[in-house]
Amino acid sequence: MALLNEEQLLLRNMASDWVRDRAPVTALRHVLQERPPIGYDADLFVEMAGLGWAGIIVPEEHGGSDFGLMGLGLVLEELGRTLVASPLLSSGLVGASALRLGGNTAQQAEWLPQIATGSAVVVLALEEEGRHNPARTALGAVRDGNRWRLDGIKAPVPDGMAAAAFVTVARTGTGADDLTLFLIPADAAGLSRERLDRIDGRGAARLRLESVMLEERAVLGEANAGAALLDRILDRGRAGLAAEMLGSATQAFETTIDYLKTRVQFGQLIGSFQALQHRAVAMFAELTLTRSAVEAALTALDADYADAPMLVSLAKALAGEAALSVAREMVQLHGGIGMTEEHDAGLYLKRAAVADTTWGNSAFHRERYGHLAGY
């Protein structure tokens, strides 16, 4: 376990208290029942932004605290414990990272303060209704005079119905890495969106771009050199998502252990059965390994270590496997009640399934780790 400084401990404790008081799992059930158009409880996100969480990685000159990815990871882990639906990951981490790493002075001045206060949501539009593989991006951007014309579809776009702007990945050449990132306001002419329903209940959208015309200043980074920038943005998002999955899996494990200690069958606590104890130990070992990997990835990103991409893929792969296996064990070890919609077990399993596939599943990241390691 990483050694946290005093400020990080205070932030984690504050997040833990807020989540338990303001956003228990019943908050997600409320979202599932009410189905708000944006896919999350807007009032809860206003509270989170008011606590400064949306600006944790935003530079101080743009209204943030610049507290680092480890700090934001601690908050995301606590949110993961109760499956809180919010754009903190998609905008406060990924959107802010895109602007920090690739935004020009005007883009940063316009959007980073809005992200930090939660008044605007900026998200990444990458996937195109297939398996995660940025090299196969098909949405095209072509020169049209001194402007760019974009045509294509993006789906699913996490929190896309709430977004004020999209960091959109487009193909600008025939090579696998010939990509360019564009910052597109949600009200741009030719851009439309429709709501998508996901099994974890969170908001997503399908974007349709039809002759969307953009000035050169809409480019993030350099034209036709966006693949490396996209990798850096994705790695930050993957590490944050791994932290969230660690929180979900840890809570699923602790809830299951509590049940094993209270459920009586055949006159005995079921936790006294050796076969179930072995399964509990296996889950604990898996979570301990995952925590080490997640904290190593966040630390490496904050320090900009050369092996950060490898550590991120290691963390994402392990977190995906741990979240899925612990959620499945939660369902099974709770017996009949774990199969009902009224019990939380199904919610943890659905979220684990979506989170594992987001920005590359465990198999994708095992292969990427091997490639980065030279195998």
Residues, the chain? 375
Structure tokens at 29: 């059930």
Q: Tell me: cis bond preceding 156? Omega within 30 of 0 counts.
A: yes
Question: What sign does the dihedral 260-262-263-268 (CA atoms) show?
Answer: positive
Q: Which domains does the chain have, with CATH numbers?
A: 6-120 (1.10.540.10), 123-222 (2.40.110.10), 227-373 (1.20.140.10)
CA end-to-end span of the chain = 29
What is the C-alpha separation between 279 and 288, in angstroms, rounded? 14
CA distance 249 to 283: 9
* Per-residue pLDDT of the chain in tens (375 residues, 90 and over written 9): 778 899 999 999 999 999 999 999 999 999 999 999 999 999 999 999 999 999 999 999 999 999 999 999 999 999 999 999 999 999 999 999 999 999 999 999 999 999 999 999 999 999 997 889 999 999 999 999 999 999 999 999 999 999 999 999 999 999 989 999 999 999 999 999 999 989 999 999 999 999 999 999 999 999 999 999 999 999 999 999 999 999 999 999 999 999 999 999 889 999 999 999 999 999 999 999 999 999 999 999 999 999 999 999 999 999 999 999 999 999 999 988 888 888 999 999 999 999 999 999 999 999 999 999 998
Distance CA 122, CA 185 (A): 9
Neighbouring CB atoms inside 10 A of 211's CB total: 11
Q: What is the pTM of this model?
A: 0.97
Give the three-class secondary structure for 2.
coil
Cα separation, 206 vs 195, whole angstroms: 7
How many C-beta atoms lie closer than 10 Å to residue 145's C-beta?
7
DSSP 104: -
Element containing residue 133 per DSSP (H, E) = none
Token pair 């399964």: residue: 279
